[in-house]
Chain A
Amino acid sequence: MDSELFGGQAVIHFKDETTRRSFLRTAALVGVGATLAGGATTAFAAGPEMASQFGDGDVGVLNYALTLEYLEADFYAQGTAKDFLGDNKKYLAPIAQHEAAHVQAILGTLQKLGATPAAKPTFKYPDGTFTDAMTFLKTANTFEETGVKAYHGQVPLIKDGAILGAAASIAGVESRHASVLNLILKQKFAPAPVEAHASMDEVVAAVKPFLGA
């Protein structure tokens, strides 16, 4: 999946994070072949407005985000309700609160926009998720890194400035979560100098195993 993280927008693929990090040391933000910055208006094909299983436009993005936040919120609520996480629980309990707050905020936004929020999915988790701390932490780490990539994948697609700001303000918190989980797991807390991003299709594929009990 990593080689595809830059999805349709990207100009270059990296075989791994080390390559990407070293590339970024010498390349401009707008990268090789990205001609939008040069003033071209058709550097990327202007296709139809985003339409997906989650709906059109910003409402679609919000429902997509809502679905991911539902998953995270459910996961952390279950995990932090139990007593198997030891000292690390103190880092995870706030995350549970954040994800629940994200769900409420996105729901409120959708309702105010007059849109129908996506239904809360049912979830399933591998055996041991809520009994083995390492399994839980690794799954949490996967969810956070996926969430970061998901939000960053939508950044260029969100049309409304306020919704963009809100999504970014959530994405930053997901980055903090990812950072802490990486440190707990003794992994690189910031795999690259710039967050990666993933398309909706890639993210949906990644979380599909957890949807639909």
Chain B
Amino acid sequence: MSVVLEVDRVSKHFQARSGFFGGDRRVVRAVDNVSFSIEEGTSLGVVGESGCGKSTTAKLVLGLEDPSAGAIRFEGKDLVGMDAAGRRHYRKSVQAVFQDPYASLSPRMRIGAIIAEPLITNEKHSADTVRARVLEMLDLVGLPARSADLFPHEFSGGQRQRIAIARALALSPRLIVLDEPVSALDVSIRAQILNLLRDVQDRLGVSYLFIAHDLAAVAHMSQTIIVMYLGKIVESGEARALARTPMHPYTAALFSASLPDHPDDRREEIILSGEVPSPMNPPTGCHFHPRCPRAMARCAQEAPTLREIDGRRVACHLFD
């Protein structure tokens, strides 16, 4: 299998100014030294609490932000310094579905025009071809053909997310960035959309970068999972193994907080104390140590590095 996207030690830092004259400059490390790769036809899940850098990662991959350091390579070519033709190819190959289905469709455009927009913008087609493609996409996501002539406000949240998926698929991309695609939907609709996404992947062989805070959804969708905390990867590995036997205390806490598969299942609940610290002023050493139930003296001083253990990558002093 070939690697579609490779993110190589990428960081994104933002300058934040505070103080009376804005003289007090601080650097927010939204994404810090993050590496991962996505193979063709597979899904990579990214989980973490809000503010951990998930969405910034999505923006970096989509080219909405440029990385401060590191390289993002698509089909082996670096995004920064890509020529115009390469950029165009990348735009066509990478599409996105965002969280809020009420904000992601242009309210004054008909569904047909919304789905056709990426197509019309990037390729030259006759009106008939475009129309046929739109109807094909609507059919693929399970919406009736007459939807093409309606406006977004005539659809429910789940239907809108289907439209957003149809739009993302219109150019037959190789990678779709799913930034919390089901978080805003009713629980009853979530499974439908997740199954649709899996179905589409099986049929078209598209890769997903699946970002969510819903662990069950991520475990259900992805082959590989990355757990992020304050801009850094704390653990990554094969999805099922990571969900069943989490190694990093943070991963363990996250998975203990999600609902068990069966209501009779009993398991130890790990309750994290405190809030996520401000990324402007992260704790010393391991960023997680003030909330970690298994913190040691060393954790406050020394930041753990990501190391390979049993086919997984973990950043924790417990495993030294």
**A and B: real partners?**
no
Name A residues whose Cβ lies closer than 8 Å to a Cβ of B. Answer: none
